[in-house]
Amino acid sequence: MKIRLKITLSVLCLLSLLFGVGGSALITISFNTAYEREKESAFDSYEMVLNTLELVSQISRTSSNSDLSITLEQLQNQGISGMQALRLSSSEKTLYESNTLAGALNNISKTPKPGSCLFVEFEFEGSHYLQLSGVLLVEGTSLYLDAAYDISSVYTIRAEQQAAFYKVFAVLVVACFLLAYSVTWLLTRPLVQLSRASRELARGNLTYRARVDTNDEIGSLAHDFNIMADRIEKGFSSLENTLDAQERFMGSFAHELKTPMTSIIGYAELIRSQALTPEEQMDAAHFIFTEGKRLENLSFKLLEILTNEQDSVRMKRVSLDLLIDDVVNHLRPLYEKDGITLAHKAAGGGTCMMEPVLVRSLLMNLLDNARKAIDGVGAIHIESRVLPGACIIRVCDNGKGIPAASLTRLTEAFYRVDKSRAREQGGVGLGLTLCARIVEIHGGDMQFESSEGAGTCVTVTLRGERT
């Protein structure tokens, strides 16, 4: 059962209960009030008859009880008594009965006291009557006067009120059902939108949002639902990107293993199956050695990336200029042999928080990439600067540059701008991936600026203090 129908039925039951109890109470109060009014009117009429009989008995003390019967008959015939039936009796016999209704009057089990009146309600031929019984003393003898007063009008009015109440109640129930269902439909319509949005998300439509714009709890729920959907969409998109990156990584990794392994197996088979000259054997051994070194380099790079976990890194305060100078002095002789000038320019000096071994590896990889980008004679310039809470390293070369389409993919594992040239130089496409990991550990960022034929500049910002 839908919630709107549940709410409608609950409201309908509550209204029916309250209206039923209230209407019944009003009808009962009205009936009791009319009943008491008729009772008072009956008592007044009975008292008038009784007083008349007492007056007659006092005037005619020497007369018989027949005078009282005649008086009652006159009162009844002229309608002065207001009673539908009168009966006068003694303890031995009935002295007067006005009609058959009088014969149906009950015999009162309790003897009324003089000056008092007993009331008994009874039915006769489908009508409701009120019997009034009292005692009249005549010459020391107790006579009993019973009278019947018609109160059927009270019950008729109550029946009419009940019939009208049932009709009004039926109309009200129908109207309440229609109005309550309409109101609950309007109130629960946002829940239908939320339900539809949930089903769309379950089907995989992560772009669907609940279109609810209300300033109530349901509106707040829809707002929170949309926020959750946004996070799910972003998380799913991130997961897809991660899976795509993993697939590319596995494909590149398999390709990187296949090429050197094919060369190693091929040359090993050549040495094993054929008689080679010493020169050919040397060439084959050289190729096997070269490809083996490439596999070794690949293994070391992967191991270094996987083992650099941020939680296990301990930062310490290090002089940035001294660290860079040490790397430059170590590499300068090797670079000068290739005709490449290596220079470092410091701006003010200072220390910053870092892991020196990782930062050294970062510099070595950046300088190695810059060296590989230079054909023949060239220059590599390093600039360093220490700021409050961060340090900046900028490595620029005058090499051949990087195409704009490749700038966003430089840190992907195994990605190389010039694959053939990188293979010739022993590159495996993991250097910048490792650099990006080291920068991430230091809470920093790395930016690339390059133009084809004009060189490349890499700007690294390290924020070791954040740890």
Same domain, 113 and 250: no
Number of compact structural domains in the chain? 3
For position 424, what pLDDT does the model report?
Answer: 46
For the chain, how long is the longest CA-to-CA vector?
Answer: 177
Same domain, 15 and 134: yes
- Amino acid present at 263: S
For position 466, what pLDDT does the model report?
Answer: 47
- Amino acid present at 259: T
95/121 Cα distance (integer angstroms): 23
User: How far does the chain reach from its first CA to its final CA, in angstroms?
Assistant: 56
Residue 41 is assigned to a structural domain of this protein: yes
E strand or H helix at 379, and its extent? Answer: strand 378-387
Domain containing residue 28: CATH number: 3.30.450
Residues 349, 350, 353, 356: what is their CA dihedral angle, to the nearest 10 degrees?
A: 40
For position 426, what pLDDT does the model report?
Answer: 45
Residue 297 is assigned to a structural domain of this protein: yes
Directed axis angle between helix 3-59 and helix 66-78, to 10°? 140
Q: Which two tokens stand for residue 349?
A: 């000096």
Same domain, 135 and 260: no
376/216 Cα distance (integer angstroms): 72
**Domain end position, chosen among 137, 158, 179:** 158
Nearest to 335 by CA among 378, 300, 384, 398: 378
Residue 187 is assigned to a structural domain of this protein: no
Same domain, 251 and 343: no
Same domain, 288 and 316: no
Residue 332: how many CB atoms within 10 A of its CB? 16
* pLDDT tens-digit map of 161-197: 999 999 999 999 999 889 988 888 887 778 788 888 8
In terms of residue numbers, what domain contains 126?
A: 3-158
290-323 in b/e burial notation, b at 16+ Cβ within 10 A? Answer: ebeebbeebeebbebeeebeeeebebeebbbbeb
Same domain, 61 and 77: yes
Same domain, 115 and 12: yes
Judge contact between 164 and 98, C-beta under 8 A: no
**Domain end position, chosen among 260, 282, 307:** 307
210/223 Cα distance (integer angstroms): 8
Residue 176 is assigned to a structural domain of this protein: no
* pLDDT tens-digit map of 305-350: 555 555 566 788 889 899 999 888 888 888 888 888 989 988 877 8
For position 296, what pLDDT does the model report?
Answer: 73
**Domain end position, chosen among 286, 307, 328:** 307
Same domain, 264 and 320: no
Residue 352 is assigned to a structural domain of this protein: yes
> What 8-state DSSP symbol labels residue 421?
H
Domain containing residue 366: CATH number: 3.30.565.10
Residue 32 is assigned to a structural domain of this protein: yes
For position 297, what pLDDT does the model report?
Answer: 65
Strand partners, 148: 85, 131
For position 104, what pLDDT does the model report?
Answer: 80
Domain containing residue 255: CATH number: 1.10.287.130
Same domain, 211 and 264: yes
Same domain, 22 and 64: yes
Question: Within 13 Å of residue 1, how many CA atoms lie on the same side as its CB?
Answer: 8
For position 396, what pLDDT does the model report?
Answer: 92
For position 69, what pLDDT does the model report?
Answer: 81
Same domain, 126 and 254: no
Residues of the chain with pLDDT under 70: 59-65, 108-115, 245, 248-260, 294, 297-313, 405-409, 411-431, 465-467
Nearest to 88 by CA among 127, 134, 120, 119: 134
Nearest to 357 by CA among 387, 314, 328: 314
Phi-psi region of 135 (alpha: psi -120 to 50; beta: other; left: phi over 0): beta
Instruction: Please report, rounded to a whole number, the percentage of residues in the chain having pLDDT higher than 70.
Output: 83
Residue 167 is assigned to a structural domain of this protein: no
For position 418, what pLDDT does the model report?
Answer: 53
Judge contact between 119 and 130, C-beta under 8 A: yes
Residue 36 is assigned to a structural domain of this protein: yes
Same domain, 106 and 217: no
Strand ranges in 151-241 using DSSP code E only, listed in sequence order: none
